[in-house]
Amino acid sequence: MAKRALITGITGQDGSYLAELLLSEGYDVAGLVRRSSTENFERISHIQDRLTLVSGDLMDEVSLINVLRDFRPAEVYNLAAQSFVQASWRQPVLTGEATALGVTRLLDAIRIVDPEIRFYQASSSEMFGRVHSVPQNEHTAFYPRSPYGVAKVYGHWITVNYRESYNLHASSGILFNHESPRRGLEFVTRKVTNGVARIKTGLDTQLHLGNLEAQRDWGYAKDYVRAMWAMLQRDVPDDFVVATGETHSVRELCEVAFAAAGLRWQDHVVIDQAFIRPAEVDLLVGDATKAQHQLGWKCETDFYGLVEMMVAADLAAYEK
Ligand code: NAP
Ligand code: G4F
């Protein structure tokens, strides 16, 4: 019988890539989707007929218990969250409810229904915030700088706590920023590549951005979901940093993305205070040595390949 996996956040960027990977590995895949007045299945429409979509919400523990009882997964990947850092200052309580307490609800549902389930938590490099050391690894202290980062620290530690308290096979991937043509339009990489495509095709002339000096370790989402899966195939649960080991500024992102379409970023980018954050994470760069050695993971796509892929995808969509 095929192994069963449940993905929360299947309608999001990572959920769609992880679903593709698990299907290719022969899993029966279920995805938790929350009720909405309009369907939001664009990222999974190409595989929807091979998925079981189940209704539930991280806000509602009963819905999680019912889904686990009905579907009986062997693996649960918790990718659902309010994941946009800037929105977390506007909606700090909701962010805490979904991104922090949602993890406890799901872990507790697992403890109640089937403690043999293997669990993956989507932890984040945002937890490092005002970084204590460069590069960041599994031993670097957390100093979150946003309500989102604080919520992710809670989600991370409750995962460790349920592992230690109830012996659950619960692992966290501390993933650095990862992007793709399926990235939400509000995140800076996609905002820039989509902006480049709109400018190139004459739909816009300007792109409004915030802090150009922030530096991030940007990788490709499709590479990163392989690390999630590898963590749950190990006998022993653990925590792993997943990153490229390279960092680039938002300014460099603009240079590369505009150049990919034959444009000069200086002619179009406008600094707009609306996108400056109350507190910033200035520099992230990860050390994924542990994941490389223990998971056999490596990133296949570098920053330049990633940005060029995203510009090409956005240009193709507008040209069509
Ligand atoms: P994303 O595209 O924003 O997807 C988030 C998903 O969570 C969506 O499917 C969303 O559903 C779902 N969701 C939100 N609130 C929910 C709730 N209350 N109940 C059930 N589902 C809910 O995020 P992503 O980039 O794929 O990231 C996946 C996870 O990794 C997130 O937890 C994120 O915080 C974390 N992470 C991401 C990165 C990165 O660079 N991408 C790095 C580190 C960690 P709707 O479609 O209905 O909104
Ligand atoms: O693309 P961003 O919004 O991503 P951020 O805040 O790093 O968070 C992402 O990565 C985290 C992992 O470290 C995830 F946990 C989280 O869920 C999310 O996926 O912003 C990146 C940087 C920031 O420093 C921001 O200030 O870009 C800067 N930036 C400059 N102008 C902008 C803009 N960010 C956005 N979203 N929009 C701008 O106009």
Is residue 124 flagged as an active site residue?
Answer: yes
Is residue 17 flagged as an active site residue?
Answer: no
% of the chain residues with pLDDT over 70: 100
Domain residue ranges of the chain, discontinuous segments joined by +: 4-178+219-242, 182-216+247-284+301-319
Name the catalytic one among 126, 172, 224, 252. 126
Q: What is the mean pLDDT of the chain?
A: 98
Asked if residue 178 has its Cβ within 6 Å of ligand 1, the reply is yes
Determine the pLDDT at residue 266.
98
**Any residues with CB less than 8 A from the CB of 286 and at least 6 apart, and which?**
125, 135, 136, 137, 174, 176, 217, 241, 242, 243, 244, 245
Q: What is the homologous superfamily of the domain 182-216+247-284+301-319 according to CATH? A: UDP-galactose 4-epimerase, domain 1 (3.90.25.10)
**What number does CATH give the domain 4-178+219-242?**
3.40.50.720
Determine the pLDDT at residue 1.
86
H helices of 91-204, in order, are: 92-95, 102-113, 147-166, 188-200
Confidence of residue 161 (pLDDT cuts 50, 70, 90): very high
- The rounded Cα 180 to chain-centroid distance in angstroms is 11
Residue 1's alpha-carbon distances to 19, 26, 158, 266, in angstroms, are 18, 10, 32, 57
Asked if residue 216 has its Cβ within 6 Å of ligand 2, the reply is yes
Task: List pLDDT tens digits, range 84-119.
Answer: 999 999 999 999 999 999 999 999 999 999 999 999
Distance CA 77, CA 107 (A): 11
